[in-house]
A and B are shown apart, each in its own frame.
Chain A
Amino acid sequence: MAKKDVNITINGKEYSSKVEPRLLLVHFIRDVAGLTGTHVGCDTSNCGACTVVLDGKAVKSCTVLAVQADNKRITTVEGLARNGKLHPVQEAFVDKHGLQCGYCTSGMLMTSFWLLQKNHNPTEKEIREALSGNLCRCTGYENIVKAVKEAAKEISAEQNKDLVREEPIEA
């Protein structure tokens, strides 16, 4: 099978490679770009450990082909911090103990990051709905929800549009 050239921008950096069409985006991110913060948990598009933001929208990168993401922009968990400073959503997960084993965390963060981009002041219900495609086996979700609320507060308080950034939001 003919390999395809793909060019994907991850966290602002371009990665070009010739890949098998069957290569999943999550494996491109982990193995080609070497960014292992994005995890694989379930193989069946249930757990969301592999969540990344693709052209402004949170998607499950285990259910996207790398070739589908050709010429697109991706943000992964490694792209949240700026100049070493944690993004408010990362801060809040640490502060509110929104993680235990840390494995689902990157997916949780990316979905939360996406949610807070489109909705700066989500209700608890909206947070829980947004996270319904991300499974956590450790926390019972309570502290994750608290963390997202906390991050929302932080983001609104800072009124810093720079923090809410990068990809435009579509309808």
Chain B
Amino acid sequence: MKSEEKFVRGLGQFIDDIKFPNMLYMSVVRSDYARARLLKVKGGINAKVFNHPLAAVGEGAMSGFERAQHMVFASEFVNYLGEPIAAVYADDPYKSEDLISSVEVDYDPLKPVIDPEKALDAEPIHSGFKSNIISEKWLGKDFKNDSPIVLEDSFRNNRIVTNPIEPRGVIANYDGKRLTLWIGTQSVFSIREGICAAMDLPPENVHIIQADTGGAFGSKGGLYPEYVMASYIAMKEKRPVKWIETRREHLMASHPGRGAMAKMKLYADRTGKVTGLRGEILVDSGAYAGGTGEFSSRFIAHQLTGQYHIEQAYIRALSVFTNKVPQGPYRGAGRPEAAFFTERMMDMLADELKMDPFELRLLNATEQPFVSPTGLKIGASKPFMIKARKELGYVPYEATKDTGVAMFVLVPAAQPGESARVRSEDGRIKVWLGGNVHGQGHEDFVKKIINEELGVKEELVELELGDTDAMEAGIGSWGSRSAMMGGSAVTVAARKVRDQVSKKFGSYSVSKLLSGSFDVYEFFSYKDSYNSFGSNLAKVSVDSYGRIKVLEDRSYYDLGRILNRQMVRGQIVGGNLQGIGQTLSENIEFDDEGQLLTSSISEAGLLTSEITTKYTVKFDETPSDLPSGAKGLGEAPTIGTPSAIARAVEVYTGKRIRDTPIKLS
């Protein structure tokens, strides 16, 4: 049964749908404070019983610090609201939740550091550190520039929560030798790596099986403390242990994205040619090392030159600790931030020179492939922009009234490639991918590729969920990489299957393939970047109360080969709405004491079906030279939309827009 049919019949097996006899249900006791010394913890499984640092695994995760590592349980201090302190469990989820209040926790509250800018000068939240700076890196080279036009501005993209409709969850079980985890995830291999490190087990003794995964958007790729707790309890009790996140836990303690600020300084001559860019990126990393916070500031800095030929750039990339949950990837993960900061400056320059914003962008486009001072590799952007102007239906007159455009570079997480396995057995083809599907329709491109490469009817092809026992290695489904890298791995594996069939039978035919048993595992290795271009145009109206309505969001992206048009449009429109959400409503807010103000999914700003934006989606389909022919896709719609809307609102209201979500008073 195709996964879509399975889901409409209600037959999906999401993590909370899986049940084992004798199962225990775990609940987590969490910090009520953003920052406090723990005076007493009594009851449950807590740091005194078991503890281990969480390994940095998954998308963009880095850990350069021995100290300030996120532990499974807080011991001496808590450093963010919702930080785990203890775990309790019972044989019924209601009773398990009752047990939370049985754990005694005494706090000595401390003044938290909430604002990332203030964190720069505040007393370090971790003892033994000189400051709250977790990482600092300069990109590009210092330069002298005496251009006549120098523009400066500051911007902020507030933190937002990934909020897949399915929360996170896990089931752990231990049979005396092997630990098995069923989990909703983007990467069974990242989870295995993290669990092996935390439980001190060799990979062969840890088995990770992906459940149907109800959306992720970044939050289901890395290791979280609850997965380790469940593993520990399963090993201790020799019983299966289930943990399902509540939405409040998700809002407090799942890693949010964005949370980046920029100070930008743009140099240009009077024709509008940009001659230099200085900037400082400040990322709110949250309380501990190990998430994306450390890496995120330099990733944003890397992309700041955008689609433009800017020869001089010098960017300071800073990440700071705050008393908030560690930052993680959220769809776009640094890309929308970079586009926002750059495009807002380009619009400012256009206004300064009274130029058409599109003309200004064209003037600064490159006609040749270009590597910017921040290391961003791009192809010729000018031809793309010329096409974009037409495909987006750009009208200069409208651009002064209600319309904004944005150009961006999509930097997919191409490296180090991805794995796939293709197996012919019992007259059917089974395929596994190293990166695990969570709603993007991998099944469709897998069926199409197998059909094209091997001639097998699509209904005989099945995409299996992730399973560490099914393959040697795998990376993950994130960073706009699945069709380009996973698709390429499937393509290469299928070709090898074809060769095997030919070798065995002397020639290839579908019936020969299906009559036999063939099995190829392939890691498609890729060591370079594979960046592509995208653009958005937004039209808005603003009512007398300052309420913004996004009338239109038009997308024109360079996607390479389109493997399934309906799926691609679905991905783009869904991502567009996430971009609209970031711009209009999505937010995670704390008061000065670090208490959560956005404590429901609606308070966090998720938009409903009543948003009636008209979407127009067009794309350049020139295939990439990768085996799948695809280019990056998944994050594109979240990158250009916020910048385009911000500009549209700016021209509509005459008010400079610097932050998301936009607040017009």
Contact = CB atoms under 8 A, between A and B. Distances in A.
Chains A and B directly touch (beta carbon < 8 Å):
yes
Interface of A: 20, 22-23, 27, 30, 35-44, 46-47, 49, 76-78, 80-81, 86, 90, 93-94, 97, 99-106, 109, 124, 127-129, 131-145
Contact of A106 (B10, B606, B611): B10
Interface of B: 2-14, 16-17, 93-94, 163-167, 212-215, 217, 244, 246-248, 438-441, 566-567, 570-571, 573-578, 600-602, 606, 608-612, 615
B149 to A, nearest CB: 39
Nearest to B440: A100
Contact of B600 (A42, A97, A104): A42
Given A37-B12, A44-B247, A142 B573 contact: yes
Contact of A103 (B5, B215, B440, B609): B215
Given A40-B16, A101-B214, A137-B217, A143 B573 contact: yes
Contacts of A49: 165-166
A44 to B, nearest CB: 4
Nearest to B9: A81
A140 to B, nearest CB: 4
B8 A100 contact: no
Counting chain A CB atoms within 10 Å of each CB, which of B6, B212, B602 scores highest? B602
A101 B10 contact: no
Nearest to B245: A43
Given A36-B17, A132-B609, A141 B5 contact: no
16 contacts: A23-B94, A30-B16, A44-B600, A77-B9, A94-B4, A102-B439, A103-B164, A105-B8, A128-B609, A128-B610, A133-B608, A137-B164, A138-B439, A140-B574, A141-B608, A145-B609
**Majority SS of interface residues in chain A?**
loop
A30 B606 CA distance: 26
Nearest to B602: A46
Contacts of A43: 246-248
A104 B2 CA distance: 17
A105 B17 CA distance: 15
B215 A101 contact: yes
B615 A140 contact: yes
Given A43-B246, A137-B165, A139-B570, A101 B438 contact: yes
A39 B573 contact: no
Given A36-B13, A143-B570, 5 more contacts: A39-B16, A42-B247, A94-B2, A109-B8, A140-B573
Contact of A99 (B8, B11, B164, B167): B8
Contacts of B247: 41-44, 47
B601 A47 contact: yes
A102 B214 contact: yes
Contacts of B440: 100
A76 B575 CA distance: 29
Given A41-B247, A47-B601, A100 B215 contact: yes
A97 B16 contact: no
Contacts of A139: 570, 573-574
Contacts of B217: 137
Contact of A86 (B9, B163, B575, B609): B9
What are the 10 closest A-B residue pairs judged by CB atoms, nearest first?
Answer: A37-B10, A103-B214, A101-B439, A102-B7, A77-B10, A140-B577, A36-B17, A100-B439, A140-B573, A101-B215
Contacts of A97: 4, 566-567, 570
Given A76-B10, A86-B9, A109-B8, A41 B577 contact: no
A101 B609 contact: no
A38 B167 CA distance: 14
Given A94-B4, A101-B438, A36 B570 contact: no
A103 B9 contact: no
A7 B513 CA distance: 54
B610 A100 contact: no
A105 B7 contact: yes
A147 B93 CA distance: 36
Contact of B4 (A42, A102, A133, A140): A102
